[in-house]
Structure 1
Amino acid sequence: MSAEAWTLLGTPTTGGVLIVSDHASARVPGDIDLGIDPALLSQHMAIDIGVAGIAAILAQTSGVAAFLGGVSRLVCDFNRDADAPGVVPEASDGHVIPGNRLDAAARAGRLARFFDPYHTALARILAANEPALILSLHSFTPRLSSDPEQQRPWHVGVLYNEDTRAAHLALDWLGQEPGLCVGDQQPYSGRLLNATMNRHAEAHGRAYVGLELRQDLIGDAAGQAEWAARISRLLPEVVAGLAKKSQM
C-alpha cells in the first residue's frame, strides 16, 4: 500500500511492531526543483541511507510492518513539527537549497501535499492496529560536512524523549552485543529532535524506541541484512520486557 508521501510494507497488527522511517526515500517529484546538485540526493542530507532496505527485510516477519516516508527529507522533513523552519529546509549540512525558498502559500502547499497525508496515514494505521512497540528507524553519517572534526564513533544510537520504557530495554540488550559501540542519546538527543514520536507515540502513551544506525555500516545489502537480523532479535526482547513491566 502506498501514496505519494508514504509506503506501507507488511501488515500492521495489534500487539505487533510498527517500524516508522521518516527519511527512507531520496525521491524528489518531477515537478519540484530543489536547485541542488543531483549527486547530493544520494547523501545523508537527502535520505537516511540503508533504512529502507532494513525495514523491507523486517517487514517480511509476521507481526512487523513498516511505514516509510515517500519523498526526500529535502522535499519535506516529516520528523519536524509543522511550524518548524526545517520542515521544508532551506539549507542542510552546509548546502543551500534554493528551491525551498518558498513564500507562505507555497510552503503551505508543500505541507498539504506531503506532510499532512504522511501524518494522517500514520495516525490512522496506529489507531486501527495499536502496536506493542513503535521502532523509529533512522541512520546517521559518520562525519558531517559542516563539522568534519566531530567524532561519531557509535555503531548505533538509542533515542527517546520522556518515555524511556523501550529505550532502556534496548540499551540493555544492545550493550550486551559483542563489539558494538552503543550511544545513549547519540549522535543527538531525542529530547531535542523527536517530532514524529512525540506526536504519534508519546502523546498517546505508545511505547517506542528510536534507533540511529551509522550509515557506513548499512550502505550495502550485506550490512542491511546484518542489522536486520540483529534488530529482529532485539524487537521481541523489547516487546517481552514491556509486557513484563506492564504486569508489575
Structure 2
Amino acid sequence: MSEAFTQIDGGDLDLLVIADHASAHVPDDIDLDIDPALLNEHIAVDIGVAEVSQLLAGQLGCKAILGGVSRLVIDLNREDDAPGLLPVMSDGHAIPGNRDADLAERMIRFHHPYHHQVARLLDGMTAPFILSVHSFTPRLASDPGQKRPWDIGILYNQDDRAARIAIPLLEAAGLKVGDQLPYSGQLLNATMNRHAEANGIAYLGIEMRQDLVGDAAGQKRFADIVGPIALECRSRLA
C-alpha cells in the first residue's frame, strides 16, 4: 500500500485505467487551512472518478491506479515544473496552507511514487492501452457565464487515434461529446504526455461531467458506456 496511490487489481488485461484526481484525501500532517467542505468540491477531487474507475477495472478485468491525495495537496496531472502543481488558489478559493509548503517534499512523497507506479504497471504489459479518467464541473465559480453543456469531453495532445474512434461511438450511445472540451488536452495532458504520448502508447482520455456521475446510477451508466468503447479503441489500435 502507498499513500500516493490506490491500485485496483481487476485482472490482467493489458489496459490500465489511470485516475489522477480520484481522491479528496488530505493526510493528517498537512494543513491546507481551508474550509473542510471544499474537499467535497471539484477543486479538491474529480467527483465520481474513483467509483467509475473501480467499476471499469472490474468490468474490463484490468488494473486501475487512483491518485491517493487531493489535487490541492499536489496535482498529479502536472509536469514537475508546471504552475499549479502546488495550488495556492483554485477557482477563486485561496489555499493558504500551501503558501509556505515544501514542494520538493510533496513531490518526493506523492508525485514521484505515483508516476513511478504508473510506469511500472505499463512496463509489465505487452501491448498496453491507457484509459485516463477525469471529470469536470459544469460551472466554474470564477467564471459563472461559461457554459459547459457536454456530457463527456475527450482530451488528447498529438495522439488522437483513440479519440477519433471513441467520439462517434460515444455520440451513438446518446452522449453530448466535447472534442478537446471543456479544455484542450494540448494544455492539460501531463500524465498522458508522460506515459502515453512519450512512449507511443495509445490512450483514451475522458472527462465526465460531474453532476452526471455524482451518484451510483450515473457512475454505472458511464462505466457501462465507456468500458466497451475503450475495448473497441484498444482492439482497433492493437
AA matched with 2:208: L
In structure 2, the partner of 1:110 is 106
Distance 1:74 1:173 in 2: 34
Q: Cα gap change, 1:150/1:88 in structure 2, threshold over 3 Å: closer, same or farther?
A: same
AA matched with 2:103: R
**CA deviation vs aligned residue, 1:105-138 (integer Å, no higher than 9, x gap):** x111111111111111111111112454201100
AA matched with 2:214: G
Runs (4+) of structure 1 moved beyond 4 Å? none
AA matched with 1:22: D
TM-score by length of 1: 0.92
In structure 1, the partner of 2:136 is 140
TM-score by length of 2: 0.96
After superposition, the CA RMSD in angstroms is: 1.3
Equivalent residue of 2:54, what SS? helix
**CA deviation vs aligned residue, 1:178-220 (integer Å, no higher than 9, x gap):** 2x21000000000111000000000000001110000000001
Q: Cα gap change, 1:140/1:127 in structure 2, threshold over 3 Å: closer, same or farther?
A: same
In structure 1, the partner of 2:186 is 191
The answer to whether the 8 A contact 1:58-1:65 is kept is: no
Identity %: 56
In structure 2, the partner of 1:22 is 20
Counting only pairs closer than 5 Å after superposition, residues 211-230 of structure 1 correspond to structure 2 as 211-230=206-225
Distance 1:82 1:181 in 2: 34
In structure 2, the partner of 1:165 is 161
Count of residue correspondences: 238
Distance 2:14 2:125 in 1: 8
Could you list the runs of 5+ residues in structure 2 that have no partner in the other structure? none
The answer to whether the 8 A contact 1:12-1:125 is kept is: no
Give, in angstroms, the shift of residue 63 of structure 1. 3.5
Give, in angstroms, the shift of residue 232 of structure 1. 1.8
Distance 1:37 1:131 in 2: 44
